[in-house]
Amino acid sequence: MRHFPADFTWGAATSAYQIEGAARTGGRGPSIWDTFAREPGRVLHGDTGDIACDHYHRFPEDVGLLGQLGVTAYRFSISWPRVQPDGRGPVNTEGLDFYSSLVDALLEYGITPLVTLYHWDLPVPLSYDGGWLSRNTAGRFADYATACHERLGDRVTWWTTLNEPWCSSFLAYAAGRHAPGRTNDREAFVAAHHQLLAHGRATGALRDAAPEAAVGITLNFADVVPASDDEADADAARRVDAIMNRMFLEPIVTGEYPDEVLDLMDASGASDAFADGDLHIVGEPIDFLGVNYYTRHRVLGGSDRQPGSPWAGCDDVAEEAPAHPVTGMGWEICPDGLGVLLARLHRDAPGLPLYITENGAAFPDYANPEGEIRDPARVGFLDAHLREVHAAINDGIDVRGYFVWSLLDNFEWAEGYSQRFGLVYVDYPSQQRRPKDSFWWYADVIASGGLLDRSV
């Protein structure tokens, strides 16, 4: 048996737009994902988050599932437009009531809430002022964080500011694949800088309001490797690694952007977005780092950038087709990349406790005639990644917890409902929830505190 430390945090994660639905209920305002999803061709099949998993109405059942699973923590996000429909000014009490009830329900099961303040659903009124292209959005975000703390801070002491700012800047502003669907490299760097600023301002605001709270950020990292030994590929991998992995971590940990990032920002004309003192704010100390890991990228230099590529400033870089096996998203399954990443973070972010805030896989699950959802590929995926976490802990790396993405099948952004990441299968028309085999497997792992030597 491979035992994890007794105080290891076992969790599952979701986000507001992906599960809540109730898009026009309880005073919630529109988010940029509501409008983006309505633009023709943006989301597969024209799916939207209007109903999603109807978690807004069914949260007691979903918290019951978390209780059955036996997790010790649950990571969810707060919808900014549910709390502040205009993105500024008065709060919508009914919106905060919802999160307050959710927190109470979790605590009744002894489940610790880990709250993400921003998982990509910016209030539409802020987009009229430029959205993340406006510095003002960073200040608005700190006000919103303060409002969330004022209502929930008596019970929530664990916060992450942003989820995966790389996605909400590079996928959203360079690749055009996420809201607001822009394809402008300069804007991607500006949006990223303003999101980092928002993180720093919100961290400072939460610190002032709750010195005892644990505040961090969730970043997505990928294992970026050159497709060959060729020097052009190695150079391409260095630049992609800089914007995927280093651009967000280093200013937070060291208060500086890496030179490779500064060069790419300069070349794209984004440097004028900086003001003196910005990096000091971004570098506000955090208490832990949330790590999301899914796959690796093999990159080729000396190639034409592919349409929809998020790699701003890297016009001579393409991605090699993934090696097999892949998940339903077409992402290469590469568990050892997680081990490599954890060792790297241990080196580059010394002293910062690490939590895997997302790891998981989509596969084409279905209910068989007996009503069971057999998902051995997901069990294999989770098992292999957890083994990497276990090995990292044994090597002295301070990994304190692991959250599966996701508790429920849900709205997978531009892929709509076509990709199922859940431990729980959601039959969308009936909203019936059915635990998959992986749910029971994970429940066993949690109950036994570790992995069987040959659990797959």
In the bound state with ligand IFM, the residue whose beta carbon lies nearer, of 125 and 216, is 216
In the bound state with ligand IFM, the residue whose beta carbon lies nearer, of 288 and 421, is 421
C-alpha 115/C-alpha 113 separation (Å) is 6
| Least distance in angstroms from the C-beta of 407 to ligand IFM | 12
Of residues 413-432, those binding ligand IFM (CB under 6 A): 421
Of residues 85-104, those binding ligand IFM (CB under 6 A): none
Of residues 129-168, those binding ligand IFM (CB under 6 A): 164
Report how far apart the first and last C-alpha atoms of the chain are (Å, whole number): 13
Q: Is 342 helix (H, G, I), strand (E, B) or coil?
A: helix
| Least distance in angstroms from the C-beta of 247 to ligand IFM | 17
Q: Is 21 helix (H, G, I), strand (E, B) or coil?
A: coil
CB 163, CB 118: distance < 8 Å = yes
112 binds ligand IFM (CB under 6 A): no
| Least distance in angstroms from the C-beta of 382 to ligand IFM | 14
In the bound state with ligand IFM, the residue whose beta carbon lies nearer, of 121 and 233, is 121
Neighbour count for residue 418 (Cβ, 10 Å): 15
Residues labelled as active-site residues: 164, 358
405 binds ligand IFM (CB under 6 A): yes
| Least distance in angstroms from the C-beta of 33 to ligand IFM | 11
Q: Is 401 helix (H, G, I), strand (E, B) or coil?
A: strand
> Which tokens sit at 272?
């004028």
Q: In this structure, are strands 112-118 and 158-163 parallel, antiparallel, or unpaired?
A: parallel
C-alpha 358/C-alpha 294 separation (Å) is 8
Q: What would the x/- binding string for ligand IFM be over residues 7 to 46, using CB under 6 A?
A: --------x--x----------------------------
* Amino acid symbol at 293: Y
What one-character-per-residue DSSP string does 78-128 give? --HHHH-TTSSSS--HHHHHHHHHHHHHHHHTTPEEEEEEESS--BHHHHH
Q: What would the x/- binding string for ligand IFM be over residues 340 to 379, using CB under 6 A?
A: ------------------x---------------------
Enumerate residues 6+ apart whose C-beta is below 8 A from 179. 31, 32, 33, 35, 36, 37, 120, 122, 172
* Among 203, 292, 327, 438, interactor with ligand IFM by CB under 6 A: 292
CB 426, CB 52: distance < 8 Å = no
Q: How many residues in the shown chain lie near ligand IFM by CB under 6 A?
A: 8
C-alpha 455/C-alpha 379 separation (Å) is 9
In the bound state with ligand IFM, the residue whose beta carbon lies nearer, of 137 and 292, is 292
In the bound state with ligand IFM, the residue whose beta carbon lies nearer, of 151 and 436, is 436
* Among 412, 420, 438, 445, interactor with ligand IFM by CB under 6 A: 412
In the bound state with ligand IFM, the residue whose beta carbon lies nearer, of 180 and 283, is 180
Tokens 């030179």: give the residue. 259
| Least distance in angstroms from the C-beta of 412 to ligand IFM | 5
C-alpha 391/C-alpha 396 separation (Å) is 9
In the bound state with ligand IFM, the residue whose beta carbon lies nearer, of 81 and 301, is 81
| Least distance in angstroms from the C-beta of 421 to ligand IFM | 6
| Least distance in angstroms from the C-beta of 378 to ligand IFM | 13
CA trace torsion 164, 168, 171, 172 (10° rounding):
170
Would you tell me which residues interact with ligand IFM (CB under 6 A)? 15, 18, 164, 292, 358, 405, 412, 421
